[in-house]
Structures are given as structure tokens and as C-alpha cells.
Amino acid sequence: MIVALIDSGLGMVPTAARLRHLRPELDLVLMMDPENAPWGPKPDAWVVDRVVGTAQHAVELGAEVVVLPCNTASVTALSHVRAALGESVPVVGTVPAIKPAAAVSDRIAIWATAATTASAYQARLIEEFASRRTVTSVACHGLADSIDRGDARGISAAIAAAVAATPDDVESIVMGCTHYPLVLEEIVSQLPSDVTMFDSAEAVANQTVRRVDEVGSSSSGTGRVSVWLSGVEGELPVSAQRYREGKLLLEGVGADQH
């Protein structure tokens, strides 16, 4: 069973690592686009073409389930990918965990990229699921880019700025960018101990496993992890290897796990 994950950078890594933990036998195809990252500032039509083309390539490589562990890709291109691939290939998207946070918290902060923070999509989610809550949107300038580069100083500076922009009485923080769980420990260390963190990686991984089971492939897979960089087969970026989740994935890169 081959599962493809598509994102411009390292935002897919938390979801991929959780999949590897849940189903180590799955063959994972990590399709990144470092030449064009980040996708957030790009025109919608460009993102749609890029994501749909990458998804079609993934299916050509044998992917039976396609995952978009990226808010930009999901918001902009999810419906287009589903239309292009048809009903035979399940496509799993990503939604920021605003609904579960609003179910247990009155005061919520949503940390996201500048593009997502300003998006009508996030505004709709807040209106739909958290209209009776106090919600603060925090644009985490440079955090995702610093994570992609493995820039420890840039990560620390971006987290400090986001913490400063977060109200002191916040009860929950929603990580509205799939990159941020890679530095969860550092984020948590800068916040009061009673703040609850919400991210979408676990939910996306669980939904992917459900779709894998529905497909019911006769081949269980060998646990191999392959990496494609802007359409060319390559290696897991060195910056990914500084994170615990990246190290977990590296164990399966280019080798069958029996």
C-alpha cells in the first residue's frame, strides 16, 4: 500500500511520522516542492495546477491514497485534486483544529502563516465553530520558513514574537500550520503550563488510516519511504533530520523495512 503526502516543505513530516508510527508497513511517498516553497503567497490558480499535477504524478508512482497535510494545498486545491483523481483514489485534506479547540475553550489563539491568518477560509472556520469564543489570530511571520531551513535562531525568534502576540489569558492554541508541530516542545516551553495545544496531524493521520483500510489493498507495503523534490526523486532534506519526526522517517528512506 502506497500513500503519497504532498506539501511544499516540511509541513507533511508530522503527519508522515504519525502514519509511520500507526502503520509502519505503509510505503510513504513524500512529495515536496523546495524550488517553489512556500505555496502560501502564490496565486490560487498556480497552486491548483501545482498540487493537481503533483497528485497525478503520485498516482503514476502507484499511490493508492493521497494526503494533503498542508493548509494552503487543502484550502486551495483539495476539491480540484479529488475531481482530477476521481473516486477510486481517496484524497485526505487538512483542516485547522478550531472545532475541537472551541469545544473545550473559551479563549483561543490560532497560530498560522500570514497568508492563512488573512484568509477567508480561516475566518469562515472561526465563524462556523468558534463564533461564541474569544479568538485571537496570530500571524507567525517566518516560523514555517525557518522550520524548513532548520534555522534554530529564526525559529526561536518567530516563536518569541508569536508568544508576545498571544493574550496572557489564552486557554488553547490551535496550530494552523502543519509545520509547527515539529517545534512543539520549544513552543510549549514558552507558554504557561495550562495552555492546551491543538494540531491537525493526528486527525489527518487517523483519517488516512481509515481511508487506507477502506481501499483494502492486497499489498500491505514494506515500510519504504521515498522522497521527491520538485518532481525529481531525491533525499529527505537535511533540515528535516534535525527534528525527531524527520529522524523517524529517515529510518525508512530508500530501504525496505521487514
Cell 529564526 belongs to: 154
Alpha helix locations (H) across 150-250?
A: 152-164, 184-189, 201-215, 244-250
CB 42 within 8 A of CB 76: no
- CA atoms of 105 and 100, how far apart (whole Å): 9
Nearest to 232 by CA among 61, 77, 73, 64: 61
> What spatial distance separates the first Cα and last Cα of the chain, rounded to whole Å?
14
Nearest CA to 143 out of 87, 182, 93 is that of 182
- Count Cβ neighbours within 10 Å for each residue of 29-38 and write b for 16 or more, e otherwise: bbbbbeeebb
Q: Which of 224, 188, 172 is nearest to 3 (CA)?
A: 224
- Which residues are known to be catalytic? 70, 177
Query: Rounded distance, CA 212 to CA 27, Å?
Result: 12
Extended strands (E) in 1-42: 2-6, 27-32
Round to whole Å and give the CA distance between 112 and 178: 9
